[in-house]
């Protein structure tokens, strides 16, 4: 993401190289093409991949610039790590760590600007960025004058397809983060980012243990819905998922019965889902096909809508971390086994069932 301030005729660009990936260097290239002076800075959280630091160096050499790095407050980082450890975000959410390492350093930087430019695209995250405007008053941060409304936020590539960004980068022969060639699309801090599989959405590799609705670090907190449990994607919020004659829709009482070993007469595989979740929608066809293949095999296939009022129960009793969560209930075991993989094609799901049935 790139930030820009226009003061005294100078174009001041402020870059988050670590955050949104390809858009960062594309916007630097556009800035260079204007022929106007610009500066670049990056937030260095202290948790970035080695490849990202190499990317920084390549950008500096390619454009003949020095990136101005902003670091988190050492005392705040020390207090967080001493009280909660190095990886507390896996247990209590990423917001606190991101607030210390990213949001507060950014807040300090933005106080010297009148406007900033980001690399947000609507297709980056249908759950949180589908309504990103091209120009807006920043709803979260303050600018040079201070107070609400003192900072303008521009999202010039909001309506640009990610594929077109890459076409531009290849045409201009600019440096890119080598992690992209390893399956990383959206790149953040090393502990919170991983490669995505073919067919997965680019933001699914960020904070993968959390719900799709939470995949923002706080830099764009204004994108999050007030009632984030219902995030419609492509108009499908009111349509149920996993419809098929071989699938059983389980109620809360049905799930509670499954948790009781004495009432489990046969093994079950159950998906915990939310109709609005894009990742649940993405695996719908493979899960319905799985149900068809398991018909008559002695393994029951079920679904449980675990959002809304059922979400707390699913978190406490059913190991729900994010949607979808897939559980196998063995015939002779008291505790369900959680499917650990991000591969949700029918062959991978069948292999999981066959290994445990």
**327 to 12, 109, 300: CA distances (angstroms):** 51, 45, 12
Inter-axis angle of helices 22-34 and 162-172, nearest 10: 60
SS3 of residue 263 by DSSP: helix
Q: Which of 19, 189, 217, 280 is catalytic?
A: 280
Q: Which of 97, 189, 192, 277 is catalytic?
A: 277
- Would strands 325-329 and 337-338 be described as parallel, antiparallel, or unpaired? antiparallel
- DSSP designation for 328: E
Token pair 């129960």 is at which residue? 313
If we measure between CA atoms, which residue out of 68, 61, 64 comes closest to residue 17?
68
DSSP state of 4: E
Q: Is residue 70 classed as helix, strand or coil in its secondary structure?
A: strand
Q: Ramachandran region of residue 129, left (φ > 0), alpha (ψ -120 to 50) or beta?
A: alpha
> Which residue, 307, 282, 91, 127, is CA-closest to 196?
282
Pick from 127, 194, 125, 122: nearest CA to 159: 122
For residue 96, what are the CA distances in angstroms to 77, 102, 117, 125? Answer: 10, 10, 25, 21
Q: Work out whether strand 10-15 and strand 2-7 pair parallel, antiparallel, or are unpaired.
A: antiparallel
- Asked if residues 121 and 13 have their Cβ atoms less than 8 Å apart, the reply is no
Contact 241, 300 (CB under 8 A): no
| Residue 33 to residue 346: CA distance in whole angstroms | 48
Proportion of the chain in helix, strand, coil states, percent, rounded to 5: 40, 15, 45
Catalytic annotation on 277? Answer: yes
Grouping H, G, I as helix, E, B as strand and the rest as coil, residue 333 is: coil
Active site residue 97: no
Just list the catalytic residues: 277, 280
């Amino acid at each position: 993401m790139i930030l820009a301030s226009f003061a005294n005729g100078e174009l001041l660009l402020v870059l988050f190289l670590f955050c949104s990936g390809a858009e960062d260097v594309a916007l630097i290239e556009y800035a260079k093409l204007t022929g106007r002076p610009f500066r670049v800075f990056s937030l260095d959280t202290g948790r970035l991949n080695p490849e990202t630091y190499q990317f920084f160096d390549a950008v500096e050499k390619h454009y003949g610039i020095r990136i101005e790095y902003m670091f988190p407050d050492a005392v705040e980082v020390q207090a967080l790590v001493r009280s909660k450890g190095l990886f507390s975000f896996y247990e209590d959410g990423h917001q606190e760590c991101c607030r210390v390492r990213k949001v507060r350093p950014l807040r300090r930087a933005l106080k010297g600007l009148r406007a900033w430019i980001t690399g947000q695209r609507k297709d980056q995250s249908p759950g949180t960025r589908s309504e990103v405007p091209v120009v807006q008053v920043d709803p979260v941060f303050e600018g040079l004058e201070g107070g609400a409304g003192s900072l303008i936020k521009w999202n010039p590539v909001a309506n640009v397809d990610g594929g077109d960004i890459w076409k531009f980068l290849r045409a201009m022969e600019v440096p890119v983060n080598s992690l992209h060639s390893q399956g990383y699309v959206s790149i953040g801090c090393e502990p919170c980012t991983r490669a995505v599989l073919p067919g997965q959405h680019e933001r699914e590799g960020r904070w993968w243990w959390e719900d799709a609705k939470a995949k923002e670090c706080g830099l764009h907190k204004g994108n999050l819905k007030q009632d984030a449990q219902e995030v419609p994607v492509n108009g499908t919020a009111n349509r149920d998922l996993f419809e098929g004659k071989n699938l059983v829709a389980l109620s809360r009482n049905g799930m509670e019965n499954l948790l009781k070993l004495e009432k489990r007469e046969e093994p079950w595989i159950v998906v915990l889902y939310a109709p609005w979740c894009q990742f649940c929608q993405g695996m719908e066809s493979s899960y319905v096909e799985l149900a068809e293949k398991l018909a008559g095999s002695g393994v029951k296939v079920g679904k449980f809508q675990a959002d809304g009022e059922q979400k707390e129960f699913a978190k406490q009793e059913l190991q729900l971390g994010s949607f979808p969560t897939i559980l196998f209930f063995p015939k002779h075991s008291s505790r369900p086994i959680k499917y650990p993989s991000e591969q949700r094609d029918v062959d991978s799901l069948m292999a999981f069932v066959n290994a445990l049935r």
